[in-house]
A and B are shown apart, each in its own frame.
Chain A
Amino acid sequence: MSFGSAVVAALAAYIAVLAFLGIRARAARASESLADFYLAGRGLGGVVLLFTLYATQYSGNTLVGYPGEAYRVGFPWVMSVGFMLAIVVVYLVIAPRLRASSERHRFVTPADWLDHRFGHPGLTRVTNLMMAAAIANYLLAQLMAMGHVVAGLSDGAIPYATGVLVLTAAILGYELLGGLRAVAWTDCLQGILLAIGLGGLLAATVFSGEGIGEATAWVLENEPAKGFRPDATMQATWASTLLLIGFSGAVYPQAIQRIFAARSGASLRKALSVLAFLPFLTTLPVFLVGILALPRLSGLSGVAADQVLPALLRGWASESEWMFWMCILTVVGVVAAIMSTADSVLLTLSSMLAKDFVAPVLRRRSGGAVEEARITRIGKGFSLAIMGVLVAIALTPRISLWGLLELKMELLVQAAPVFVLGLTWPRLSAKAALAGVICGTLLAAGLTLAGYGKIGGVHAGLLGAMLNAGVAVAGSLAFRRQDD
């Protein structure tokens, strides 16, 4: 069996299991309420919560992009272990209070907490809009990655467009059937596949001949800039990345919804206590793969950084039958990682659009309450519409949105001061927070779009967030008033 046809067969089996889980999740639903569909009835236990946080947090970029980054940057990319952990550190700051508050007030989306804490529609709308724009960009990136990864790793047996269309249809299928319950259950499968895929990668690196020690010696000898202590600019980028990823990753709306969906504080505590170690089982092996690629692929001309993993896998697959099947599992693990991120983002985005943007308009028009089942149906309609638009963009290669995609973290991190200060500092005022968000976003977006993504190694998004927090604190102190 060729590598390409084995990948097709493995992916077909994987999609069949996803469909089965979607149908089971549909059967397990208790009602058509928003909390049942979007928060799995607030019933996620510790293990499912751990897997869904894990599979959502680690995207395809972790498995495909990070070996490429390690190959390009060298040993300083060891920072990736620290910055994925930084997200869990920020959870320690926000999750206990957010969780306690959500249990009392039954939040469904992050905007519910914003409304509860600040009671300022302008702040809620602006923050929500920024988070929605950031995760829509993120979703588009996942769809395009699905197509590229499947085409690249199946040796062209599955064309880019087919990969995007089939996998998008699979996500929509189980998500519309079972909401977060289906997404969380499939996240468990995807998390296990991700772990097996990483195990495969590690096994492949161990059994492929050259050890990490030899690779390190080669790097120090032939590419010292990638093995010696990083320079001052790279050190600044290291610190900046820890803060940027830590704060923006923790306020991903899909992550916040999982805090609301936890069955109890105890299940959330257990999930986070294990999640703290997963960078060592996920990001570290991926980093090592990129380092091992340095001597292996150094002689090849024109190896783009993001082709490192496919190039290594094809090479390893031809070494033995055992390695062949480990590489197939790795491919399925990579696809699972991308899908598990895409489905969570889609579900959260549709809940935000239906509940936070459309439901208030319907309520105003009808002059009263709107049935939750109706909002759930509208959300499902949004899921279809969002995927329709994003797939159309993903299938039009002439439209280049990479400039916009770069704005994802820059936008998202501007929501962090609102959540972190809002949860920890009672004096934070809504008006000052809104002024901070606007100033920070303008600075971050302006610098990025003007081509200054980093200044002195520090990300424009972080500079924006620092201005954002500064304006929020100074404004709150100046007005000395509490909005809540």
Chain B
Amino acid sequence: MKLRRDPLSHPWLFVVIAALYGFSIPWWFGEERPSIVLGLPSWAVVSLTCTFAVSCLVSFAARRLWDDGKD
């Protein structure tokens, strides 16, 4: 069996995932007291949002960017 398409042949996917992971770490947030959004500190909400975007991308890539010609 030969792979027709593989997520690795889409480098943009991993660049976007790395960028989202980079923003999930709150280095960009100031040292002030965070406001509370949806019950959590604002920086934690942004972090979870970035992580959720990675989940969506991974799910998309598993379904659409990977083709082993067996469907």
Which A residues fall within an 8 A CB radius of B? Answer: 75, 78-79, 81-82, 85-86, 88-89, 92-93, 96-97, 99-100, 103-104, 211-213, 216-217, 220, 224, 227-230, 232, 235, 238-239, 242, 264-266, 269-270, 272-274, 276-277, 279-280, 284, 424
A sample of 25 cross-chain residue pairs with beta-carbon separation below 8 angstroms, ordered by A number, consists of A79-B47, A89-B54, A89-B58, A92-B13, A92-B58, A92-B62, A96-B68, A97-B8, A99-B68, A100-B68, A211-B39, A213-B39, A216-B36, A216-B41, A220-B36, A229-B30, A235-B26, A235-B27, A242-B21, A265-B68, A269-B66, A274-B59, A276-B59, A279-B55, A280-B55
Tell me the bound Cα distance from A213 to B47 in angstroms.
17
A82-B33 contact given A229-B26, A269-B63, A284-B48, CB 8 Å threshold: no
Query: What DSSP secondary structure best describes chain B's contact surface?
Result: helix
Contact across chains for B62 and A220 when beta carbons are under 8 A apart: no
Taken together as a complex, chains A and B put the C-alpha atoms of A436 and B19 apart, in Å, by 28
Distance from B45 Cβ to chain A, minimum over Cβ atoms (Å): 9
Q: Assess the B63–A93 pair: CB atoms within 8 A.
A: no
CA–CA, A264 and B68, complex, Å: 9
Complex: A273 Cα to B63 Cα, angstroms = 7
Contacts of A211 on B, CB cut-off 8 Å? 39
Knowing A85-B51, A89-B17, say if A97 contacts B62 (CB, 8 Å). no
B44: A residues at CB distance < 8 A: 75, 78
For B2, B13, B68, the residue with the greatest tally of chain A CB atoms inside 10 Å of its CB is: B68
- The 8 Å CB contact of A82, one of B31, B40, B54, is B54
| In contact, B41 and A75 (Cβ under 8 angstroms) | yes
Measured between alpha carbons, how far is A97 from B66 in the docked complex, in Å?
A: 10
Given known pairs A81-B48, A224-B33, A228-B33, the reply for A265 and B70 (CB within 8 Å) is yes
Enumerate chain A residues within 8 angstroms of B51, measured Cβ to Cβ.
81-82, 85, 279
- For A226, give the chain B residue with the smallest CB separation: B41
Residues of A within 8 A of B47 (CB): 78-79, 82
Residue of B whose beta carbon sits closest to that of A231: B31
User: Min CB distance, B69 to chain A, in Å?
Assistant: 8
Please judge, given known A-B contacts A85-B54, A276-B58, whether A103 and B1 are in contact too, CB under 8 Å. yes
Is A82 a contact of B58 with CB atoms below 8 Å? no
Task: Flag if B62 contacts A212 (CB, 8 Å).
Answer: no
User: Closest residue of chain B to A219, judged by CB?
Assistant: B41
Interface pair A272/B39, CB less than 8 Å apart:
no
In the assembly, what is the distance between CA of A88 and CA of B27, in Å? 24
* List of A residues within 8 angstroms of B54 by Cβ: 82, 85, 89, 276
The verdict on A238 contacting B33 (CB below 8 Å), with A227-B41, A265-B68 known, is no
Residue of B nearest to A217 (CB): B36
Q: What residues of B have a CB within 8 angstroms of the CB of A232 in the complex?
A: 27
Segment 1-50 of B: residues with Cβ below 8 Å from A = 1-3, 6-8, 13-14, 17, 21, 24-27, 29-31, 33-34, 36, 39-41, 43-44, 47-48
Find the residue from A99, A238, A270, A276 having the highest chain B CB count within 10 A. A276
Residue from A75, A78, A232 having most chain B Cβ neighbours under 10 A: A78
Residues of B within 8 A of A85 (CB): 51, 54-55, 58
